[in-house]
Amino acid sequence: MAKKDEIWSLKRLFIQSFLEKFKNKKILVTGANGFVGSNLIIELNKQGFTNLLTPSSTELNLINQNDVEKYFEENKPEVVLHIAGLVGGIAANKARPGEFFYNNAMVGINITHFAYKYGAEKVVSLAAGCGYPKEIPVPFSEDDFWNGLPDMNSYGYSLAKKNLVIGGWAYREQYGFNTTVLLPANLYGPYDNFHLENSHVIPALIRKFIAAKESNSPTVEVWGTGIATREFLYVGDTVKAIIDAMDCNETGPFNLGTGVETSIKELNETIAKLVGYEGEIVWDTTRPDGQPKRFYDMSKFKETFGYVPNTTLEDGLKETIDLL
């Protein structure tokens, strides 16, 4: 084990030294104004990347093929960090599956194709862990990524994001184009969407417990039994991995998480403690828990990048809540 740890440490040092060559390259960040994108821009600036292209959605319509081609032809980015996408919770995905599929599929196709056509050296894309089949063993291994269909609750979005992996593989296979695709676990962190009804689970719960505290509500009701487990990934770890992936010469996909499972009960109790809510958490057991367990096997990522993201859930939640 000591020998392996030494090898992984050397890999980390090599990646960091290799990334120096990207510091002055022209880097396009799609979705730069969104949750992950805004955190990525902060980290890129912190690490000394100086030549960033960060068009807003009004400046560049990523769905429109002509607009995307014109942008790549005029700006010729050397590296593309593709973060943009139409996202939402389960309710939004169930109500608008066609919109989620079309938007995300078209954006992914346009980015991959025109990055290749206009000479980009590298594309790193953020896909989604919900692309995994519904019924596979845990922890999820990349070897099982193609062994079935994803959950129908997010089918349009999941398949569109899965296409990023297909596109990356196809362009590498035919043209030798260097793409890497990451599959993040459930993301959370500063600058997320904290709307109670259309955000992801952690920001929705944070908002719910803060509202309960402010209104002196004696109880907060949450769905299920709390027994189910999930994996949560701090956005600060996410953006560092995206930057590191510029040095990767494999399409993947690569799981991106902590490899740690947390029960929904523990998640709710931790959020309640951190926001200072002292009332009772009431479990509506008539509501479904969803899949009993969902978390990642991180061995492939560690073998390639030399580490596993390790921000603890409590530390990441505290940072998130403190910045609200």
Catalytic residues: 157
Within 10 Å of residue 228's Cβ, how many Cβ atoms?
A: 18
Supply 149's token pair.
Answer: 């269909």
CA distance 230 to 237: 17
Cβ atoms 65, 102 nearer than 8 A: no
Q: List alpha helices for 215-298, DSSP H.
A: 235-244, 264-275
Q: Helix, strand or coil for residue 55?
A: coil
Q: Pairing mode, if any, of strands 27-30 and 52-53?
A: parallel
- For residue 83, the one-letter residue type is I
Straight-line distance from the first to the last Cα atom of the chain, in angstroms, rounded to the nearest whole number? 41
Supply 65's token pair.
Answer: 């093929």
Q: Helix, strand or coil for residue 273?
A: helix
Total number of residues shown for the chain: 324
Residue 229 neighbours by CB under 8 Å, 6+ apart: 261, 262, 263, 264, 292, 293, 294, 295
Candidates 304, 11, 16; CA nearest to 181 is 304
Residue 59 neighbours by CB under 8 Å, 6+ apart: none
Q: Helix, strand or coil for residue 84?
A: coil
